[in-house]
């Protein structure tokens, strides 16, 4: 009889814990929503590993509010609808308090309506096209004014580029970013016929014709530059074709927005030396905080593993979330969202990151040159730049403002003085 009662008591306790009724001694669950298979695994697996390392480190410090953090890892497998399904599962079945995840904008757009419907919380750690601001998302990667626009300025002012090839993977981030860049370039006096735009599917492998078209763009002797929003493992074929065509960085420089140390670690970089990337962090950044972070990463994952920009964005977002939860005394979404605004945390390049009312960070802009060892020589760095949710270079966006602190709106029209709903483009 006692045995039966013990079993019943154990079952009741398990039920209470699963329902969250037992606050004392319970863990705080952290969802990890990154592709571990498919075309984006080349980039996203590292971010899963980053979150797990950060959780382990935080637990060694005593956790959050005296509770241990528990990772719940799922694999949306580079399948955009599956991201939404897995996000719903994390919130409704696994009962996570926060999600760190997504890489591509199409995956984030897939998750967004789920997060908003269920009042979840997503930290998105990758550069993106802007034109969005959700109360339920913190965008810790770069907006266009913190990556794309400064990269174009570098091409125009430092390299004397006169013709632009905008090459991207065919989804929302490259298309929206290139719409912004086309408008910006035309405003700088670049003729429409001197801007070549091309999109390819995820995983695209045959780059011979596209590279030939880019090469032909400079037949009149004008300097050509490539702005690359190519994502995932398609980059491998693109850079191989550049080398096969005998195109060096001196001939046609490429600045990439989605190629960092992790992607280069799988490539022979001999023929890529001199090509560029625009990010807000590189492993080669010199600061005590970065030395400590890189050392911890290599001690955890092995000497051959590199760090990169989305890892730093994850690191900043995770630590701000920890501090916001402690400040709010709760993991409840609305309380944490309010406490997140104004959070400050040192970035890994030596300055301070601040979370703005538009849910974007202040971030320095870095231009890095690829070296033979797969690292980047930082050749340009700015002071922290405030992230802009809505670009100034598209007329319909220039009048919009995001402010979740005072205006309580992510899409406030400064001309009509009204808050409008986010466009349903997901």
Each domain of the chain, given as residue ranges in start order, spans: 22-142+287-364
Query: For every residue of 330-399, which 3-state class applies, written as one string?
Result: CCCHHHHHHHHCCCEEECCCCCEEEECCCCEEEECCEEEEECCCCCEEEEEECCCEECCCCCCCCHHHHC
pLDDT of amino acid 116: 98
pTM of the model: 0.88
Query: Does 258 or 130 have the greater pLDDT score?
Result: 130
Cα dihedral sign for 210, 163, 228, 395?
A: negative
Name the helix (H) or strand (E) containing 243: helix 234-244
- Beta-sheet strand order (sheet of 122-124): 69-74, 28-33, 98-101, 122-124, 137-139
CATH number of this structure's domain 22-142+287-364, picked from the four choices 3.40.50.2300, 3.90.1150.10, 1.10.8.350, 1.20.1090.10: 3.40.50.2300
Number of H helices, E strands in the chain: 13, 19
Output the six-digit token pair for 395. 């007329």
β-bridge partners, 108: none
pLDDT of amino acid 305: 95
pLDDT of amino acid 270: 80
β-bridge partners, 279: 366
Output the six-digit token pair for 176. 């929206």
Q: Assess contact for 148 and 180: CB atoms under 8 A.
A: yes
pLDDT of amino acid 421: 74
Q: Assess contact for 215 and 196: CB atoms under 8 A.
A: no
- Cα Rg of the chain, angstroms: 22
Output the six-digit token pair for 200. 């390819």
Residue that the structure tokens 């090459």 belong to:
167
Cα 216-220-224 angle, rounded to 5 deg: 60
Residue that the structure tokens 């009724």 belong to:
21
Residue that the structure tokens 């039920």 belong to:
15
In the chain the first and final C-alpha atoms are separated, in Å, by: 57
- Beta-sheet strand order (sheet of 418-419): 400-403, 409-413, 418-419
In the three-class reduction of DSSP (H, G, I as helix; E, B as strand; rest coil), residue 401 is classed as strand
pLDDT (tens digit per residue) in 56-112: 999 999 999 999 999 999 999 999 999 999 999 999 999 999 999 999 999 999 999
Output the six-digit token pair for 257. 């927005």
β-bridge partners, 344: 354
- Evaluate if residue 313 carries a pLDDT over 80: yes
Quickly state the pLDDT bin for 279 (edges 50, 70, 90): very high
Q: Assess contact for 174 and 229: CB atoms under 8 A.
A: yes
């Amino acid at each position: 009889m006692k045995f039966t009662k013990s079993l019943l008591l154990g079952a009741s306790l398990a039920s209470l814990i699963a329902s969250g009724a037992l606050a004392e001694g319970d863990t705080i669950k952290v969802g990890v929503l990154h592709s571990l298979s498919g075309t984006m695994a080349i980039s996203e697996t590292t971010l899963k590993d980053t979150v797990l390392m950060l959780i382990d480190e935080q637990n060694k410090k005593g956790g959050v509010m005296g509770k241990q953090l528990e990772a719940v890892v799922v694999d949306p497998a580079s399948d955009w609808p599956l991201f939404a399904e897995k996000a719903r599962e994390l919130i409704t079945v696994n009962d996570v308090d926060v999600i760190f995840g997504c890489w591509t904008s199409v995956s984030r757009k897939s998750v967004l309506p789920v997060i908003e419907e269920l009042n979840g919380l997503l930290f998105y750690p990758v550069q993106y096209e802007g034109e969005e601001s959700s109360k339920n998302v913190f965008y810790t990667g770069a907006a266009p004014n913190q990556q794309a626009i400064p990269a174009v300025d570098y091409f125009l002012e430092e390299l004397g580029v006169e013709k632009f090839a905008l090459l991207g993977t065919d989804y929302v981030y490259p298309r929206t970013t290139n719409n912004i860049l086309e408008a910006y370039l035309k405003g700088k006096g670049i003729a429409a016929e001197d801007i070549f735009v091309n999109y390819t599917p995820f995983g695209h492998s045959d780059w011979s014709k596209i590279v030939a078209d880019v090469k032909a763009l400079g037949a009149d002797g004008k300097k050509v530059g490539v702005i690359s929003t190519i994502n995932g493992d398609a980059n491998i074929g693109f850079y191989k074709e550049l080398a096969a065509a005998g195109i060096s960085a001196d001939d046609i420089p490429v600045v990439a927005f989605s190629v960092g140390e992790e992607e280069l670690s799988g490539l022979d970089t001999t023929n890529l030396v001199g090509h560029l990337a625009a990010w807000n962090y590189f492993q080669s950044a010199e600061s005590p905080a970065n030395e400590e972070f890189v050392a911890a990463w290599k001690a955890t994952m092995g000497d051959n593993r590199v760090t990169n920009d989305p890892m730093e964005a994850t690191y900043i977002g995770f630590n701000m979330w920890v501090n916001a939860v402690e400040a709010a005394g709760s993991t409840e979404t609305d309380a944490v969202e309010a406490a997140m605004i104004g959070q400050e945390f040192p970035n890994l390049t030596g300055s301070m990151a601040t979370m703005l009312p538009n849910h974007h960070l202040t971030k320095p802009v870095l231009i890095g040159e690829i070296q033979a060892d797969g690292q980047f020589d930082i050749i340009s760095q700015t002071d922290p730049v405030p992230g802009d949710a809505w670009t100034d270079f598209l007329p319909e966006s220039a009048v919009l403002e995001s402010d979740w602190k005072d205006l309580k709106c992510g899409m406030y029209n400064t001309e009509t003085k009204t808050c409008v709903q986010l466009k349903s483009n997901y």
